[in-house]
Amino acid sequence: MKPTLTQELLLSLTADTPSISPKFFYDEIGSHLFEVITLLEEYYPTRTEKWIMDTYQSEIANAVGSCDALLDLGAGNCIKASKLFNSIKPKQYHALDISKEFLQAAVNDLQKQFPHIEMSAHAIDFSQTLAFPNLENLRKIFFFPGSSIGNYDPENADVFFSNLANQCNGNGGLLIGVDLVKDTQTLDLAYNDKLGVTAAFNLNALLYVNKLTGSNFNLANWEHHAFFNTSKSRIEMRLRALDDVKVTIPGLDSKDHVLSFKAGDLIHTENSYKYTQDHFVEKLRRAGFENIHYWTDPNNHFLVCFVNAKKIT
């Protein structure tokens, strides 16, 4: 039986390394805050990926070929996918993300601009296995921009890619953006902006947990903490307790659960892995993709790949 949200959070918050899944970033407030993050001077991934997509638009469209259904993984405000509509011309567009309300509003606006494309919005937990039986006979193109794959541990990324390759049924592909390894200062600044928007985004996860479970996290007791772990090639984002604090989470069995944190204790909220080009391309090959096309920027800060699923023989 699938655990309830309260059970899931209790398990993660009482583990040896307390954590909150990054999926709890993306309520309506968190989704809007992330939009702001993408506009910040320090946050290079969004504008760099956009430069690649704009500069190589024709080459990307030629690589993708025909598209019956475009599946936008982590669609957010749907803007990135909408930039592909005129070049790859999907017959259907399916927006998938964790926050249904935010997503549905974006799809409704987009449908007015592109009435000839069949559109739908779906709330999906990407930590679960993805399946699209209603689209089985269509040529599906999965779109996963923004280096969201960096939030997956490498082993889970392999499973995720294999799942997507299987869903293609030998006739489809994946268009994906990934952040590349670079100097530590650039990486650290991207997750510690001067305005503190990333800090607000991180702290908002506590408010969302309060809303979902009735817990009483107090933002005044916590601060944002992010740094690049060179040995593991990943940004690690955490919430750090400023004081000794107790947090109550109401239980489904009428028994409250009290969690204790000491000043300096950490709650892990996100990893963002950074890859070399060769390593990332090899992961895609191992997962069941072939005919790999890729594009990057002049500084080699970011990579966009399109890969076809291997044909079933």
Structure tokens at 228: 């690049």
Instruction: Give residue-wise pLDDT tens across range 132-144.
Output: 888 988 999 999 9
**Residue 222 confidence (pLDDT):** 98
Residue 210 has pLDDT above 60, yes or no: yes
Longest CA–CA span in the chain (Å) reads 60
**Residue 2 confidence (pLDDT):** 61
**Average predicted confidence (pLDDT) for the chain:** 94
Number of folded domains in the chain? 1
Residue 125 has pLDDT above 90, yes or no: no
What is the CATH classification number for the domain harbouring 254? Answer: 3.40.50.150
Q: What is the mean pLDDT of residues 29-37?
A: 93
pTM to 2 decimal places: 0.90
- pLDDT confidence band for 127 (50 / 70 / 90): confident
The residues, ordered by sequence, that sit 6+ positions from 25 with a Cβ below 8 Å of its Cβ are: 34, 201, 202, 204, 205, 208, 269, 270
Distance CA 230, CA 3 (A): 34
Residue 1 has pLDDT above 70, yes or no: no
Q: What is the mean pLDDT of residues 280-305?
A: 97
Adjacency order of strands within the sheet including 172-179: 118-123, 92-97, 69-73, 140-144, 172-179, 302-309, 289-296
Which domain, by its residues, includes 129?
A: 1-313
Map residue 173 onto helix, strand or coil. Answer: strand
Q: How distant, in Å, are the alpha carbons of 50, 66, 112, 168, 277 from that of 172?
A: 23, 9, 27, 5, 22
Q: What is the mean pLDDT of residues 28-57?
A: 95
Sign of CA dihedral 185, 40, 111, 27: positive
CB 174 within 8 A of CB 306: yes
